[in-house]
Structure 1
Amino acid sequence: MTRTISVITPVYDGGDAYLYEAYESLRTERLRLPEGWNLQWLVQEDGTTGNPTRNLPNEPWISPGMASKGGAGVARTMALPRATGELVRTLDADDAIIPGGLARDISTMEAHPELGWCISAGLDLLPDGSTAPGPYDPPEGPLSYERLLQGYDDDLFPVLGTHLTVKKPLLFAVGAWPAIPAWEAIAVVLCCAAVSDGWMIAAPGGYYRKHSGQTTAQATYSEVADESELRAIVRAQAEALRNLGWRWP
């Protein structure tokens, strides 16, 4: 029986400059998956223009979609009902999978069936083509909620939320990506960690592209919400789940 990992990529009209490179990384990654595994790519427009996915090939493993504009978190969540995979992996439209990245995600989840999620290190891809490791990457091994929450409180979150791989039922159970204007990728990692054990993969799983057009580089990014309110809601949701005492599964 074929098993599937579903990769979800949100994109907006005008934010698709590197989308084809994301496609190329996934096209070759399909050939590296463990035997018996298949790849589905859900490309979800944050908006309804149809423009960002217009130049993508019409291939059966690619599932384009669109919905009313609501931000990256809303776009990811709106793609989720189309996901056929038991595992869901995030990938931003301007990033790319490092060769073997998805295979390591799958192998980790198979080696540790008690886990609900894993996350891989990343490499910053700089404009000159050079790369640099993440400054706070934890070592290989179990990744606790307490460590993530401490990093969050210290404004030194140790992982890339966009490198999350999670079992789909767990993702649904925590409400998927919250409808907040920023930090939704961090929020869903914290919520998953609040109720389920996870694993840090030290080998980089993807490139995090640094460029002038990325959303977080825009001067307006800091104005999308009151930071104190945003910080409070992300923490409050995770802590509420933790304090329930419920564990997944």
Structure 2
Amino acid sequence: MNRIISVVTPVYDGGAKYLRETYESVRDERAHLPEGWEVQWLVQEDGTTGRPLAVIPEEPWISTGMSSKGGAGATRTLALSRAKGELIRALDADDMLLPGGLARDIAAMEAHPELGWCISAGLDLLPDGATVMGPYDPPEGLLTYETLLTAYDDDHFPVISTHLTARTQLLLAAGAWPSIPAWEAIAAVMCCAALSDGWMISTPGGIYRKHPGQTTSQSTYAEAADLDQLQTIVRAQAEALRATGWRWP
């Protein structure tokens, strides 16, 4: 029986402009997976209109769902109710996987069974079509909680949190993506890191699209919650998990 990596994509009505390209990138990755592996794509609407899901073809490896509006964190987490994979890979509805990205995630997890998660570098896709590497990407190798916490406190978080790949049981134990109005992807990385070291993959695993319509560029996103409150609660949850002394596995 094949092993599965489940890719989780939240989307909202009005946010599916690039979802077809996201679909194509996941579809194309199926040919790059290691022997004995397959991908499951979980697409969850933050809402119940069904409209953003209409651009996705019905295929057996795709599972779509809807739920009452609750924000990206709740939407990602609800999608996990249908996850069959032993690994979970985050992917936003306006981003794309790069060829071999999932295979490198799988390889990192198999090479380091003692680690609970990995994360790949990304390419920022600018509106003019140019691509640039992230400004704070760490080198290939071990990522510790202390390293991430220091960078977090310095406001230079070094990884693209929406490129997280985690062992499903670790992600669930860490609380998955919290229902906060912003920063939920960073919170998931921090909480996974509080329970297990991770691995940085320096080869870009996906494209992070920067465009005027993206959620994080909207004024309403910046106003969703007081930034001090967000920074405090994300740090507090991660620190509380760390203080339990429990480590994965």
Cα distance in 1 for residues equivalent to 2:149 and 2:64: 34
Query: Following superposition of structure 1 onto structure 2, how do residues 6-155 of structure 1 map, counting pairs within 5 Å?
Result: 6-155=6-155
Q: Are 2:19 and 2:55, in contact at CA under 8 Å, matched by a contact in 1?
A: no
Matching residue's letter, 1:118:
C
SS at structure 2 position matched to 1:53: helix
Residues 167-205 of structure 1: CA deviation (Å, up to 9, x unaligned): 000011011100100000000100000011100000000
Residue 130 of structure 1: how far off its partner (Å): 1.1
Show the counterpart of 1:166: 166
Cα distance in 2 for residues equivalent to 1:220 and 1:88: 29
Show the counterpart of 1:187: 187
Residue 8 of structure 1: how far off its partner (Å): 0.2
Residue 226 of structure 1: how far off its partner (Å): 1.0
Residue 221 of structure 1: how far off its partner (Å): 1.3
User: Share of identical aligned residues, percent?
Assistant: 72
Show the counterpart of 2:213: 213
Matching residue's letter, 1:162:
T
Cα distance in 2 for residues equivalent to 1:55 and 1:43: 11
Query: What residue ranges of structure 1 are gaps of 5+ in the alignment?
Result: none
SS at structure 1 position matched to 2:15: coil
Post-superposition, which runs of at least 4 consecutive aligned residues in structure 1 deviate over 4 A? Answer: none
Matching residue's letter, 1:187:
A
Residue 155 of structure 1: how far off its partner (Å): 0.7
Cα distance in 2 for residues equivalent to 1:119 and 1:223: 28
Cα distance in 1 for residues equivalent to 2:220 and 2:181: 12
Residue 40 of structure 1: how far off its partner (Å): 0.3
Aligned residues: 249
Query: What residue ranges of structure 2 are gaps of 5+ in the alignment?
Result: none
Matched, 1:2 2:2: yes
Cα distance in 2 for residues equivalent to 1:183 and 1:24: 27
Residue 219 of structure 1: how far off its partner (Å): 1.4
Cα distance in 2 for residues equivalent to 1:110 and 1:193: 18
RMSD after superposition: 0.6
Show the counterpart of 1:248: 248
TM-score, length basis structure 1:
0.99
Residue 127 of structure 1: how far off its partner (Å): 1.2
Cα distance in 1 for residues equivalent to 2:158 and 2:81: 29
Residue 110 of structure 1: how far off its partner (Å): 0.6
Cα distance in 2 for residues equivalent to 1:60 and 1:240: 40
TM-score, length basis structure 2:
0.99
Cα distance in 1 for residues equivalent to 2:93 and 2:12: 9
